[in-house]
Amino acid sequence: MSDPTLAQPHLVEVHTTTLETVVTTHNHNHRPSINASGEKKKIVGVFYKGNEYAKLNPNFVGCVEGALGIREWLESQGHQYIVTDDKEGPDSELEKHIPDAHVIISTPFHPAYVTAERIKKAQKLELLLTAGIGSDHVDLKAAAAAGLTVAEVTGSNVVSVAEDELMRILILMRNFLPGYHQAVKGEWNVAGIAHRAYDLEGKTVGTVGAGRIGKLLLQRLKPFNCNLLYFDRLRIDPELEKEIGAKFEEDLDAMLPKCDVIVINTPLTEQTRGLFDKNRIAKCKKGVLIVNNARGAIADTQAIADACSSGHVAGYSGDVWFPQPAPKDHPWRYMPNHAMTPHISGTTIDAQLRYAAGVKDMLDRHFKGEDFPEQNYIVKEGQLASQYR
């Protein structure tokens, strides 16, 4: 690790979590006291199914079958723990348990969309936990107005996502996938790959967002001798900026035309939703490569598909879609020169063990009426963390 602090699961992913009041008046009356000592709670976990893979690795705790490895611990204290992958629509398993659930745990990889309507129905709800990073599947303003706490395991999969982004940059830059497909099909056509394969060295890579993941990616890119740029509302620590050799860009639209590769590393907020639309993509250099492991909805679905088809975007890779799971007819499945996967970058076995431990720690604190590590809060006492403003 280039930075020993990065292994600490409690560190902030996107800057420091300064809190800002979103709602000035709160009605906490209908919410139960979270300090009720010894009260038995109903916890609902929504995860993806492990199926035949669940038994292949005892540390595969992020699936329904693994249940974050906390079932025995919760049930030994008399709590009820319901785990499901069924989360969509009025007849889903999640919907059935919403009225009397005290805690809902979800992941960004198989998100339980906790809408304002669901929050209204959930009269006993106290806490929404994200096993991982990114709580945009929750209507945060509705959660704040209802006096709920929303928290995530900040820093738990920073290394996992940054490593995955580096891999995607190289896969696109070297035009790797057509070569792999040739190998599988028994073909041999070097020209079909070589005409659009390049070295990473000497290229300009810009990250949109330089929180924990963006910073770590820049550190990982340093040995490749690229020109490194970053756009963010906050500057990186000057010493680290100098050490990495990254240049701060104040204006996103001024940075984009300089970049051969653009990596999206910003949370999904009202400000970033649809950030990469037709107009913004047009400002990028023709032949740009785009990597997005942040959130699918930051990019306009059709605009990306059109730009890949026209060749303005030479390659697009990421593991985030909107919605998730992505429907079979999602345009990104069929656009040329993509290297898309299901949402996997932050759910390596190492990351699962970190976010499972973080969830257990926060549940333990919640039952005891104790505060969480400050940087884990997304909504606390009606206030929203800065990255979601």
The response to whether 4 counts as a known ligand-binding position is no
DSSP 32: P
The residue whose two tokens read 């940087």 is 375
Q: Is 232 annotated as a binding residue?
A: yes
Which of 175, 219, 265, 324 is an active site residue?
A: 324
Is residue 324 annotated as a catalytic residue, yes or no? yes
Q: Is 346 annotated as a binding residue?
A: yes
Q: Is 43 annotated as a binding-site member?
A: no
Of 118, 137, 343, 366, the active-site residue reads 343
Ramachandran assignment for 314, one of left (phi > 0), alpha (psi -120 to 50 degrees), beta (any other): alpha
Is residue 312 annotated as involved in ligand binding? no
Q: Is 308 helix (H, G, I), strand (E, B) or coil?
A: helix
Q: Is 352 annotated as a binding residue?
A: no
Residue 212 annotated as part of some ligand binding site: yes
**Catalytic-role residue among 102, 157, 337, 375:** 157
Alpha-carbon separation of residue 225 from 201, 204, 219, 253, 333 (angstroms): 5, 10, 11, 24, 32
Distances (CA, A) of 285 to 51, 107, 191, 207: 43, 35, 24, 15
Q: Is 338 a catalytic residue?
A: no
Which of the following is catalytic: 97, 102, 137, 295? 295
To the question of whether residue 269 is assigned a binding role by annotation, the answer is yes
378 carries a ligand binding annotation: no
Residue in the structure block whose two tokens are 């806490």: 127
Known catalytic membership, residue 57: no
Is 343 annotated as a binding-site member?
Answer: yes
> Is 268 flagged in the annotation as binding?
yes
Residue 15 known to be catalytic: no
Residues 130 and 136: their CA atoms lie apart, in Å, by: 10
Buried b (16+ CB within 10 A) or exposed e, 128-154: bbbbbbbbbbbbbbbbbbbbbbbbbbb
265 is in an annotated binding site: no
* CA separation, residue 375 to residues 143, 361, 372 (Å): 18, 14, 8
Residues placed in the known binding site for NAD(+): 212-213, 232, 267-271, 293, 319, 343-346
Residues placed in the known binding site: 133, 157, 212-213, 232, 267-271, 293, 319, 343-346
For the annotated catalytic residues, the residue numbers are 157, 295, 324, 343
